[in-house]
Amino acid sequence: MGRIEESVEVAAPLDEVYGQWVRCEDFPQFMRGVVSVDVSGPGSSSWVVGTAAGRREFEAVTTEVVEGERVAWDGGAGEVRHSGVVTFHHVDDRTTRVMLQLEIEPHGIWEHLAEALGFVDRRVIDDLNDFKHHVERAAAGPQGD
């Protein structure tokens, strides 16, 4: 199982950043690696993501929520087996650090190869940056568009 740890600083207050993260059904609008998210109930969602090996589907179950601080989940035993936690850290009144930790179990030779070549880590970095830009545009309001 591979471990990925990445972080990004977002130029927005912590409550805005956290609020955007927990609206995961919006991720496909701005994250290139997320194809669709269907929130099927409290703490449960169905995901389709783009990977180096193609489209993959999985169910995610939220395992822990500390409002404004932390969200953890388990990706179950589908095509994309993983678990993760994202934490939110107040840097100053207008800056929040988002830290993401993922444990991913590659499935098949292509996913093992993609992980070994750093493609999975690159996808996570790109998605975090997509999230950062989305939140910063929203925080800037209409004058930022």
Q: Is the pLDDT score of 52 beyond 70?
A: no
Q: Average of pLDDT values for 13-26?
A: 96
State pTM to two decimals.
0.85
Domain hosting residue 62, numbered range: 2-139
Asked whether residue 111 is assigned to any structural domain, the reply reads yes
pLDDT tens for residues 65-93?
999 999 999 987 665 678 999 999 999 99
Overall domain count for the chain: 1
Ramachandran area for residue 108 (φ above 0: left; ψ -120 to 50: alpha; else beta): left
pLDDT tens for residues 117-126?
555 667 788 8
Q: Cα–Cα distance between 4 and 75 in angstroms, integer? A: 15
- pLDDT given for residue 144 in this prediction: 47
CATH of the domain at 78: 3.30.530.20
Q: Cα–Cα distance between 126 and 120 in angstroms, integer? A: 10
Asked whether residue 59 is assigned to any structural domain, the reply reads yes
Asked whether residue 102 is assigned to any structural domain, the reply reads yes
Asked whether residue 145 is assigned to any structural domain, the reply reads no
Asked whether residue 144 is assigned to any structural domain, the reply reads no
